[in-house]
Amino acid sequence: MSRRTAIKTVLAGSAAAAVSGVASATPFASGVSQANSPLKGNIRHSVSRWCFGRIPMEEFCVACKKIGIESIELLDPADWPVVQKHGLTVAMAQGAGLGIDRGFNDPKLHDELVESYEKVIPMVAEAGLTNLICFSGRRNGVTDLEGWQNCEKGLARLIPTAEKYNVVLTMELLNTVGHKDYLCSRTYWGAELCRRLGSENFKLLYDIYHMQIMEGDIINNIRKYHQYFSHIHTGGNPGRNEIDERQEIYYPAVMKALVDVGYKGFVGQEFVPKDEDKLASLEKCIRICDV
């Protein structure tokens, strides 16, 4: 069949469907579980607190538990007991470091960063948690090689402590559009840093939204690099809003790829809800990922 013939065939089929009154399903229909049905359990669901910050924490915990979400993440130590009281966990803890822009790429910050993380790592372990977020910081003019060397030098000082407490230092992959000059902005770069450190206690937070902006090819990169991922984030692109048909990533296929490679970590919803009913949006997006 030629390309011209194929196009004619598709157009003819579309016209026939329209005449017969058959409405085509939305692109995400096949990937969404029925409302009120139990989640399938193939994906471990989490949600970033900051995206729903206007909802009181206690109310948010109750709503998440009802939806079937296991974790509320990116919380400081003071908030960990609150979610745990509701039978939830914190799949990605925060509370150490100097922020996104000031990270392990800057050797001048290593002493301060090491002191901060060595204080918080035991707290993570004591709370029964596993993942603690960290950042490369800005590139600041260095090459990829220099960035690897700088980050490896600083993080290597923390690996013994992380291994002792069974805490995974998890560096987030971010785009350089919203986070200008951020160093760890490509999957291959983060994977090579993991390889250099050679420890199961240092891995990556693979943010699908950010990596769609930077490099695309999401499913192939999951297949290639999944052994280096300890956590996943979602978000609709463009806009970082709901992960439904209003954006370009087909999340059911991405989630299926995670299941297929045997990924056992959490998937954290990190979209900023655009719809008026924020909790309904959250449940809808959880079910889009429930493959």
What are 68-86's pLDDT values in tens digits?
999 999 999 999 999 999 9
- Would you list the domain boundaries of the chain? 44-288
Percentage helix, strand, coil, to 5, in the chain?
A: 45, 15, 40
Query: What pLDDT, on the 0 to 100 scale, is given for residue 35?
Result: 59
What are φ and ψ of residue 47, in 5° steps? -150, 140
- Spatial separation of the C-alpha atoms in residues 288 and 30, rounded to whole Å: 9
pTM, two decimals, is 0.89
Query: For residue 143, what are the contacts with CB-CB under 8 A and spacing of at least 6?
Result: none
Q: State pLDDT tens for residues 182-240.
A: 999 999 999 999 999 999 999 999 999 999 999 999 999 999 999 999 999 999 999 99
Query: What pLDDT, on the 0 to 100 scale, is given for residue 37?
Result: 86
* Run of H or E including 188: helix 187-197
Query: For residue 190, what are the contacts with CB-CB under 8 A and spacing of at least 6?
Result: 171, 173, 184, 204, 225, 228
Query: What pLDDT, on the 0 to 100 scale, is given for residue 34?
Result: 54
Architecture of domain 44-288: Alpha-Beta Barrel (3.20)
Query: For residue 113, what are the contacts with CB-CB under 8 A and spacing of at least 6?
Result: 96, 97, 98, 103, 104, 154
- Spatial separation of the C-alpha atoms in residues 143 and 130, rounded to whole Å: 31
Q: State pLDDT tens for residues 117-129.
A: 999 999 999 999 9
Query: For residue 20, what are the contacts with CB-CB under 8 A and spacing of at least 6?
Result: none
Report the candidate in 41, 179, 162 with the shortest Cα–Cα distance to residue 93.
162
pLDDT range class, residue 25, cuts 50, 70, 90: very low
SS3 138: strand
Query: For residue 127, what are the contacts with CB-CB under 8 A and spacing of at least 6?
Result: 77, 80, 81, 84, 90, 93
Residue linked to tokens 């392990």 = 104
**Mean per-residue pLDDT of the chain:** 91
- Spatial separation of the C-alpha atoms in residues 35 and 142, rounded to whole Å: 50
Report the candidate in 101, 174, 172, 107 with the shortest Cα–Cα distance to residue 134.
172
Tokens of 113: 């960063």
Query: What pLDDT, on the 0 to 100 scale, is given for residue 208?
Result: 98
Contact status, residue 107 vs residue 125, Cβ threshold 8 Å: no
More reliable by pLDDT, 99 or 21: 99
Average pLDDT of span 272-284? 98
Tokens of 273: 């809800």
